[in-house]
């Protein structure tokens, strides 16, 4: 018996599930409630159909692969806010003033949303690379010290807001927050303890959060620490933004690489084009993490002011850490 061809709606459904579940196929299959082999068949069919549509001079009118519309949770067409890339708070960075600057800028522009894009905290205490038998391992902080440092950083942010109410304050957890999960996998007796403390850290400062590798949406703009490729790995290299765009159907704002960058890609359908924005990092200006050594990092420092209009990323403005210090430094 011949297989029943997939409808465009089914193609859209499988692509949405893939992107909404961190670009992880097994997770997407479970989300849809279908077998892994069935998902792979539908996924490959959908990709082929998108490829045909993008390369055809006169694509058939029934081919219309686009982003599914997500309602604006606030009923407004325009939302202004800031996105904060990898801040990497740690006890070794005792000065928390930059977090106060973030809050002050959110207050100044009357932000509707603040999205922390993950790796807000380094959690050196959970690093598997610095064992207790190594020199760096002997001097790394305790987990409680990491948590206390995080509270100090977010308290500075809260102080900077000066009571300004922000409707959406959300963290898309990064691979450094995810260290609590991987650590628990190595030491099952710690299950729930570490993640519970991170949950309390965020919730006590009124921050909601989504897991590492999962998109969080404001309108149709997807925020994530880093998109993952078909192998479940972070996109990397000089063509990372282009590759992300090739496999995406909506605007994406992400971090992780610390490099910064912006790429606009033409797409079929009602969206016409999508924007891929790499935030860089929000570490102190020119600060380089110890693992980089003495090499030039090429990192991009600062935060982004975003305007989301009709569910799309309408504009983005980079504000460097130097500018923030000039604006808000005491």
Give pLDDT tens digits for 19-39: 666 566 777 787 888 888 888
The pLDDT score that the predictor gives to residue 27 is 77
| Closest C-alpha among 307, 263, 298 to residue 280 | 298
| DSSP secondary structure of 77-94 | SEEEEEEE-B--B-TT--
Residue 60, pLDDT score: 29
Question: Does 68 fall in a domain?
Answer: no
Q: Does 250 have pLDDT greater than 60?
A: yes
Residues 39 and 143 occupy one common structural domain: no
Give the CATH number of the domain where residue 118 resides.
3.60.21
pLDDT at 75: 61
Same domain, 45 and 82: no
Mark whether 262 and 323 lie in a shared domain.
yes
Structural domain including 31 reads: 8-55
- Global model pTM greater than 0.75: yes
Q: Where on the phi/psi map is residue 23: left (φ > 0), alpha (ψ -120 to 50), or beta?
A: left
Instruction: Assess whether pLDDT exceeds 70 at residue 110.
Output: yes
Place 55 in a pLDDT band, splitting at 50, 70 and 90. Answer: very low
Residue 60 lies in a domain: no
Q: Is residue 287 part of a domain?
A: yes
Q: Is residue 113 part of a domain?
A: yes
**Residue 190 CA to its chain's centroid (Å):** 26
Do residues 50 and 125 share a domain?
no
The whole-number pLDDT of residue 135 equals: 52
Number of domains forming the structure of the chain: 2
Task: State both tokens at 179.
Answer: 């260290």
Residues 87 and 40 in one domain: no
Averaged confidence pLDDT in the chain: 84
What is the 8-class DSSP label of residue 228? Answer: B
Looking at the fold, whether 180 and 271 belong to one and the same domain comes out as yes
140 and 253 both lie in a single domain = yes
132-136, 185-189, 250-254: lowest mean pLDDT where? 132-136
Question: Residue 238 corresponds to which tokens in the numbers above?
Answer: 């000089």
Helices (H), the chain: 8-20, 25-32, 36-55, 97-109, 135-139, 143-161, 179-186, 193-203, 240-246, 321-328
Contact in structure between 25 and 18 (CB atoms under 8 Å):
yes
Q: Is residue 319 part of a domain?
A: yes
* 84 & 25 share domain: no
Element (H, E) at 319: strand 312-319
**Within a domain: residue 70?**
no
51 lies in the same domain as 84: no
51 shares a domain with 102: no
Q: Hey, which residues does 84 pair with through a beta bridge?
A: 116
Are 245 and 152 in a shared domain? yes
Domain annotation covers residue 66: no
The torsion angles phi and psi of 300, rounded to 5 degrees, stand at -115, 115
| Nearest-angstrom CA–CA distance, 318 and 281 | 11
The answer to whether position 73 is within a domain reads: no
Nearest to 175 by CA among 131, 236, 248: 236
Q: Is the pLDDT of residue 47 over 90?
A: no
Q: Is 24 in the same domain as 88?
A: no
Three-class SS state of 325: helix
User: pLDDT category, 70, cuts 50, 70, 90?
Assistant: very low
């Amino acid at each position: 018996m011949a297989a029943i061809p997939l409808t465009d709606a089914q193609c859209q459904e499988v692509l949405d599930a893939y992107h909404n579940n961190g670009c992880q196929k097994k997770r997407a299959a479970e989300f849809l409630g279908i077998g892994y082999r069935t998902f792979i068949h539908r996924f490959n069919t959908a990709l082929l159909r998108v490829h045909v549509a993008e390369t055809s001079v006169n694509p058939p009118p029934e081919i219309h692969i686009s982003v599914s519309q997500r309602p604006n949770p606030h009923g407004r067409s325009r939302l202004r806010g800031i996105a904060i890339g990898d801040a990497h708070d740690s006890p070794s960075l005792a000065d928390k003033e930059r977090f106060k600057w973030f809050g002050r800028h959110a207050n100044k522009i009357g932000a509707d949303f603040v999205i922390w894009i993950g790796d807000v905290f380094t959690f050196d205490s959970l690093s598997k690379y610095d064992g207790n038998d190594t020199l760096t391992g002997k001097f790394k902080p305790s987990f409680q010290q990491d948590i206390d440092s995080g509270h100090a950083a977010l308290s500075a942010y809260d102080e900077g807001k000066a009571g300004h109410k922000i409707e959406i304050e959300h963290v898309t957890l990064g691979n450094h927050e995810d260290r609590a999960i991987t650590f628990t996998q190595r030491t099952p007796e710690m299950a729930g303890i570490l993640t519970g403390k991170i949950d309390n850290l965020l919730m006590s400062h009124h921050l909601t959060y989504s897991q590492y590798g999962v998109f969080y949406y404001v309108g149709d703009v997807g925020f994530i620490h880093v998109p993952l490729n078909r192998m479940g790995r972070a996109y990397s290299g000089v063509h990372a933004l282009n590759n992300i765009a090739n496999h995406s159907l909506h605007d994406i704002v992400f971090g992780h690489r610390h490099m910064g960058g912006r790429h606009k890609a033409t797409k079929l359908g009602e969206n016409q084009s999508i924007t891929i924005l790499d935030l860089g990092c929000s570490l102190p200006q020119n600060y380089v993490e110890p693992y980089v050594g003495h090499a030039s990092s090429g990192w991009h420092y600062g935060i982004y002011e975003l305007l989301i209009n009709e569910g799309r990323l309408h504009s983005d403005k980079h504000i460097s850490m130097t500018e923030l210090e000039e604006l808000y430094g005491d």
